[in-house]
Homo-oligomer: A and B are copies of this chain.
Amino acid sequence: MSEHKIYKPKPISGFPEWLPEYRVIELQWMDRIRKVFERYGFCSIETPSVEEIEALEAKAGETEKEIYTLTRLQADENDKDARLALHFDLTVPMARYVAQHFNGLVFPFKRYQMQRVWRGERPQKGRAREFYQCDIDVVNVDSLPLHFDAELPAVMFEAYQALDIPPVEMHLNNRKIIIGYLEGIGIKDIPFVTRELDKLGKLGPEKITKILADSFQGDISLAQKCLALAQIKSDDNSFINQIHALGVANELLEQGLSELKFVMDNLRHLPKGSVFADLGIIRGLDYYTGTVVEVYFKDKPGLAIGSGGRYDNLAGSFISQKLPGIGVSIGLTRLFWMLMEDGYIKPGAKSPTQILVVLPEESRRPEAAETARLLRQQGYNVELFHSDSKVKKQLSYAERKGIPYVWFPPFEDGKPHEVKNMATGQQTQVDLSHLEALKDIIK
């Protein structure tokens, strides 16, 4: 290697990384989310970052084109490795995991998983190519009580609340309503219509009406009927009357309405105005079969910061047992990134150090080192300044890293230790043999 050739590093578009004072906030968030998930009995699992391509394609749906595959840089020609790709979500790997370890798991299986996922999309505002998702799912054999369709969104909501972020709202729908309704009005190509309705927020009702009418041989009234459903939204059960007013009779539709009502009723304990029945929520991934949910900032609709839904047969391509499940996912990186760009996230500490122990001069090093050890034993995060620099320089280091306390071992034997509060400037004598008294000085 040449030491003279400099490869100037630059950010890779779509692969965010944070400075320490922001990473510490992300880490706090992950700790809090995990705590909420565990509070409801979800256990942690992790799966490899890769799956065999066949496993991903079994359920990839529309994201298929966004998969990153792996190649060994110097693969032999006769390399017989499985074809591997990075996972694009945590739901498909979880389904594969449940099928693979079926006999080792207790059902209903409730797991959380907080890992990075990868999508080879064109990078754009809020959309990274590598990002954290924080997922909970519950999967059971044969059937799964509808109560979970309310519980999981509620757990997700509690996780958002634990983050001290601007208020969010959850938008719920049920695929049975959409499909039943579209069947009821005589739509033949339901996947096409749902795909178009999913673009409603982006393209607006006029464009979508036109696209649909064109596909219906110019039948604008039919297109309008599709739109009418997708535009219904209520924070109570009035969505039911609004849908019935459209005069469509269909059994699947009624089943979906009753399920959505059940879920709405079971989310009544959440703050008023934070839960909506929103018939415009479609969810692109094709494995959802019942309840679907998306989460948005109240004051910033557009990009979903969380989503999920029920799937009756996600593991069906891996195992013959019927394994219905429901899962929700917090888009941690997107959420964090959006609030970073808005300047909402205040930087945290640049260092976890609570106390910097000063090295008064080289001859005092053993005492300084011993002091640091004692303080660590008391549970404090402590750094010892290793180079024999002027005290002013050591104080400046503490200041620039935001270390809140600086400890001065004595410059000569018999003198007291002192500790300085960097915020107030107050300096206090301390007794090394009564370190429990520190609790009153160091908060």
Interface residues, chain A, with chain B CB atoms under 8 Å away: 1-3, 5-13, 15-20, 23-24, 27, 38-55, 58-59, 64-75, 82, 84-86, 96-97, 99-101, 104-106, 108, 110-111, 116, 118, 120, 130, 145, 147-148, 151, 269, 286, 313, 316-320, 349-353, 373, 376, 380-384, 386-387, 397, 400-401
Q: Cα distance A92–B65 when bound, in Å?
A: 30
- Asked if residues B72 and A68 are in contact (CB atoms below 8 Å), the reply is yes
Residues of B within 8 A of A47 (CB): 17
Task: Knowing A43-B352, A106-B400 are in contact, say whether A317-B48 is a contact too (CB < 8 A).
Answer: no
Q: Cα distance A38–B381 when bound, in Å?
A: 6
Mind listing 26 A-B residue pairs with CB under 8 Å?
Answer: A1-B59, A5-B317, A6-B320, A7-B54, A7-B55, A7-B317, A7-B318, A12-B51, A17-B48, A20-B43, A20-B44, A38-B381, A39-B376, A39-B380, A39-B382, A40-B382, A44-B352, A49-B116, A64-B74, A65-B72, A66-B72, A67-B74, A68-B73, A70-B71, A70-B86, A73-B120
- Asked if residues B67 and A69 are in contact (CB atoms below 8 Å), the reply is no
Q: Which residue of chain B is the closest to A121 with respect to CB atoms? A: B72
- Asked if residues A20 and B382 are in contact (CB atoms below 8 Å), the reply is no
- Asked if residues B73 and A387 are in contact (CB atoms below 8 Å), the reply is no
Q: Cα distance A82–B401 when bound, in Å?
A: 34
Q: Cα distance A12–B24 when bound, in Å?
A: 34
Residues of B within 8 A of A6 (CB): 317-320
- Asked if residues B20 and A45 are in contact (CB atoms below 8 Å), the reply is yes
Task: Knowing A130-B49, A130-B50 are in contact, say whether A381-B23 is a contact too (CB < 8 A).
Answer: no
Among A17, A54, A58, A108, find the residue whose CB has the most chain B CB atoms closer than 10 A.
A17
- Asked if residues A386 and B145 are in contact (CB atoms below 8 Å), the reply is yes
Residues of B within 8 A of A84 (CB): 12
Task: Knowing A1-B58, A15-B48 are in contact, say whether A41-B72 is a contact too (CB < 8 A).
Answer: no
Task: Knowing A147-B386, A351-B110, A381-B40 are in contact, say whether A16-B48 is a contact too (CB < 8 A).
Answer: yes
Q: Cα distance A11–B48 when bound, in Å?
A: 10
Residues of B within 8 A of A351 (CB): 41, 43, 106, 110
Q: Cα distance A86–B73 when bound, in Å?
A: 10
Task: Knowing A70-B68, A70-B69 are in contact, say whether A23-B43 is a contact too (CB < 8 A).
Answer: yes
- Asked if residues B82 and A73 are in contact (CB atoms below 8 Å), the reply is no
Contacts A23-B43, A151-B384 supplied; 7 other A-B pairs, CB < 8 Å = A13-B82, A18-B46, A20-B111, A24-B44, A43-B349, A49-B49, A106-B401
- Asked if residues A12 and B58 are in contact (CB atoms below 8 Å), the reply is no
- Looking at the assembled complex, report how far the CB atom of A396 sits from the nearest CB atom of chain B, in whole angstroms: 10
- Asked if residues B350 and A106 are in contact (CB atoms below 8 Å), the reply is yes
- Asked if residues A397 and B106 are in contact (CB atoms below 8 Å), the reply is yes
Residues of B within 8 A of A316 (CB): 3
- Looking at the assembled complex, report how far the CB atom of A114 sits from the nearest CB atom of chain B, in whole angstroms: 10
Residues of B within 8 A of A8 (CB): 318-319
Q: Which residue of chain B is the closest to A138 with respect to CB atoms? A: B386
Q: Cα distance A317–B7 when bound, in Å?
A: 6
- Looking at the assembled complex, report how far the CB atom of A1 sits from the nearest CB atom of chain B, in whole angstroms: 6
- Asked if residues B23 and A44 are in contact (CB atoms below 8 Å), the reply is yes
- Asked if residues A120 and B40 are in contact (CB atoms below 8 Å), the reply is no
Residues of B within 8 A of A376 (CB): 39-40
Q: Cα distance A105–B18 when bound, in Å?
A: 11
- Looking at the assembled complex, report how far the CB atom of A5 sits from the nearest CB atom of chain B, in whole angstroms: 7
- Asked if residues A12 and B381 are in contact (CB atoms below 8 Å), the reply is no
- Asked if residues B352 and A48 are in contact (CB atoms below 8 Å), the reply is no
Residues of B within 8 A of A17 (CB): 45-48, 97
Residues of B within 8 A of A59 (CB): 1
Among A11, A99, A106, A349, find the residue whose CB has the most chain B CB atoms closer than 10 A.
A106
Q: Which residue of chain B is the closest to A17 with respect to CB atoms? A: B47
Q: Which residue of chain B is the closest to A351 with respect to CB atoms? A: B43
